[in-house]
Each structure stands twice: as C-alpha cells, then as structure tokens.
C-alpha cells in the first residue's frame, strides 16, 4: 500500500494483466472504442454537452483557455496554479495569451480581487479585456488545498455577467469532493470547461478529459491534432480509466474515512497530525522520535510505501485507495515499529 501519491501506482505487469482481463474495444485516432465510451461517461458525470480525450492535462488546459479567451487574450489565473507555474509558458508561447497571476501563496482568489483585476485590465486609456479565468482546485503547489467554493460561485456569477470564459483545472477534483462534500458535477456547473486527470487516481498510464459545450469541444478536436495530440490509439489508457472510475467516488469516500482512522491512531500514539485549512488528501505528521534515514526502506520492507522523509520536521502522508488494503490500526503500528 502507498501513503504517497494520489493513485494506486500500477507496475507495467499489472497494466498488462488488467488490460487482458478488460478486453477493451480499440479506437483509431481517438475515435470510437473505449475512448468514445470514456468521453461519454465524463460528459454525463460532469453535466457537459461533450468531452474530449487529451494525452496530457497540460494540453487540455492550454486548449481550453485558448478557446475560451478567443481574441481577448488577457487570462486571469492563480499564481500558484499548474497552468501558470508548471506548463512551460505554453499558453503564452504557443497561443499568445497573457496569463495574469493573482493571489500569490494562496489557493483562493477572492471574488473582490477578481473583479478588481477585470476592471483594471479593461480601464482606459488602453483597455485589454479579460477573455478567460482559469481556476485550479485543489492546488498542487498549495499542498492540495481547495479553492473556497463560496468565492468560486461569486466569481462564476460575475464572469457570466461579463461574458468571460471560465475554466476549471480539476485534475484532482474527485479527491477534493470527498473532503468538501461538493460533488464534481456541482463544481462543474460553475465553469464552461472542466479538465479532469485520467492518470492521477483513475490510474491510466496517461490521459486527460476536457469537457464543455459541444461547439467548443469540436474546435478543441482540431487544436488537439494541430498541437500533436492526435494519437493513433489510446484504448489502453481509456480502458484503465473506465475501470477505476467505475465506483470511484464510493471507494474513495471509504479511503478518506480509513485515512481519518489512521490519523487518529497515530495521534493516540503521540504523533502530531497537522491538518491543512481547506486541505484534501495530504497531511503532515510529526512523530515523537525523529525518523531515521532508513525509514523509507524499513516501511517498504513492511509493505508500506512513503515519500522520502525530511531530515527534520513533519513527514507528508497522502491518502489514496490503497489505504483500504490494511486496517488503520495495523498501518499505524507498523509505522511506529519502523521508527524503532
């Protein structure tokens, strides 16, 4: 089991066995078969007219904001967002968009800040109207913190009033929903386009799903090809994502509950658990005894995988489906035995 990462970390041999069992229907250039089935599933799940498979989330985010912005190339983003910090300036370089970062060091941009930024950009003597707003939630660079839903609703209402496109980088939105109690469909209602990762916790070897209005998704199909995303086949990724997305919300809710049991068990053993404001599946734990340099190996020998522990300070633990493989009390006991 893993106390690091969002998914189940399948080795290549397990992918092969699972695909042989699933017997997926093939696609050709991302048309038909398992890919089409996956697109239909996520369009329905998120309440959108249409969905489109992309090889990467970077490309899905880029294409979405490009199409939403159109000729109004001023785009507002979180400074800590993946689109702004981790996509190699692709939207700026390849589509001439001007990404304007807001709220440094925070997951949430207040609606008042967003209004101020829109009005400032559109003011004379040289107005540059905002064409799109992109929000990531939860925010990876903010240790998985979620964007405040009330602020999100206010921003969405304002954007619609001003006819500004809204994009959600919801790569990890299904994880967030288990902690916030807000369904992915409810989040999706506030946005024109929504991207969800197919590999982070639906465990596909690659892939992303972009959902939105039919006309926009049709235009995205052309851009996907122009930017080199027209794969010959993606049935293997689609089949795995279909398999793990089936019943995921119920399973992950159980994983969250199991994670809470584990944290309580660690606290009973005098560990300090740090719960982040607006946090999701990432926690920090400080043990009574500093972990040794070999803790990662000691736990691996006990079948528990963790990230590399810091030389000092709290250790990061992450909740994913694999936590259900062993009782919480047993996991806590193994951790403390490994500490020595």
200: part of which helix (H) or strand (E)?
none
Does the pLDDT at position 144 exceed 80? yes
Please, which residues have CB within 8 angstroms of residue 146's CB and are 6 or more apart in sequence? 107, 137, 138, 139, 176, 179, 180, 278, 279, 280
| Lookup result for tokens 């699972």 | 18
Q: Are strands 208-212 and 272-274 parallel, antiparallel or unpaired?
A: unpaired
Q: What per-residue string of b and e applies to 284-295 under the rule 16 or more CB within 10 Å gives b?
A: bbbbeeebeeeb
The mean per-residue pLDDT over the stretch 88-104 comes to 98
Query: What mean pLDDT is reported for the chain?
Result: 97
- Dig out the tokens for 121 from the structure: 């950009």
The mean per-residue pLDDT over the stretch 299-323 comes to 92
- The per-residue pLDDT for range 35-65, each reduced to its tens digit, is 999 999 999 999 999 999 999 999 999 999 9
- The per-residue pLDDT for range 203-229, each reduced to its tens digit, is 999 999 999 999 999 999 999 999 999
- The answer to whether the CB of 170 falls within 8 A of the CB of 216 is no
The mean per-residue pLDDT over the stretch 313-339 comes to 95
Angle at 190 between CA 57 and CA 220, to 5 degrees: 40
| Lookup result for tokens 């199409």 | 67
pLDDT (0 to 100) of residue 148: 98
51: part of which helix (H) or strand (E)?
strand 50-54
Does the pLDDT at position 311 exceed 80? no
Long-range contacts of 150-154 (CB under 8 A, 24+ apart): 151/108, 151/109, 151/110, 151/111, 152/187, 152/190, 153/190, 154/111
Does the pLDDT at position 283 exceed 80? yes
Instruction: Look at the chain and count its residues.
Output: 340
Torsion sign, CA atoms 252, 257, 262, 263: positive
* pTM value surpassing 0.95: yes
Rounded CA separation 131/153 (Å): 18
Please, which residues have CB within 8 angstroms of residue 28's CB and are 6 or more apart in sequence? 232, 233
The mean per-residue pLDDT over the stretch 313-317 comes to 91
Q: In percent, how much of the chain has pLDDT > 90? A: 96
Rounded CA separation 42/46 (Å): 6
- Dig out the tokens for 304 from the structure: 């528990």
pLDDT (0 to 100) of residue 69: 98
pLDDT (0 to 100) of residue 338: 94
């Amino acid at each position: 089991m893993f106390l690091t990462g969002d998914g189940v970390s399948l080795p290549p041999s397990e992918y092969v066995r699972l695909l042989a069992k699933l017997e997926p229907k093939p696609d050709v250039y991302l048309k038909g078969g398992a890919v089409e089935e996956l697109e239909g599933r996520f369009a329905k799940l998120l309440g959108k007219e249409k969905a489109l498979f992309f090889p990467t989330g970077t490309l899905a985010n880029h294409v979405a904001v490009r199409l939403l912005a159109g000729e109004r190339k001023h785009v507002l983003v979180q400074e800590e967002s993946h689109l702004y910090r981790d996509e190699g300036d692709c939207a700026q370089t390849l589509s001439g968009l001007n990404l304007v970062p807001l709220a440094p060091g925070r997951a949430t941009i207040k609606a008042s800040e967003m209004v101020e930024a829109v009005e400032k950009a559109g003011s004379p003597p040289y107005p540059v109207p905002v064409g799109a707003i992109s929000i990531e939630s939860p925010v990876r660079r903010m240790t998985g913190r979620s964007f405040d839903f009330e602020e999100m609703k206010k921003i969405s209402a304002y954007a619609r009033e001003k006819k500004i496109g809204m994009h959600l980088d919801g790569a990890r939105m299904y994880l967030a929903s288990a902690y916030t109690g807000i369904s992915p469909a409810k989040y999706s209602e506030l946005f024109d386009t929504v991207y969800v990762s197919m590999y982070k916790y639906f465990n596909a070897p690659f892939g992303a799903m972009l959902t939105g209005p039919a006309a926009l998704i049709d235009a995205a199909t052309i851009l996907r090809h122009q930017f080199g995303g027209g794969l010959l086949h993606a049935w293997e990724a689609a089949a795995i994502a279909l398999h793990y997305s089936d019943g995921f919300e119920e399973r992950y809710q159980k994983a969250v509950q199991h994670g809470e049991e584990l944290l309580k068990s660690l606290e009973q053993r005098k560990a300090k658990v740090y719960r982040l404001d607006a946090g999701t599946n990432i926690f920090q734990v400080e043990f009574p005894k500093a972990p040794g340099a070999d803790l990662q190996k000691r736990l691996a020998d006990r079948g528990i995988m963790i990230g590399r522990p810091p030389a000092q300070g709290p250790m990061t633990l992450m909740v994913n489906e694999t936590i259900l493989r062993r009782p919480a009390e047993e996991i806590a006991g193994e951790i403390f035995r490994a500490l020595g």
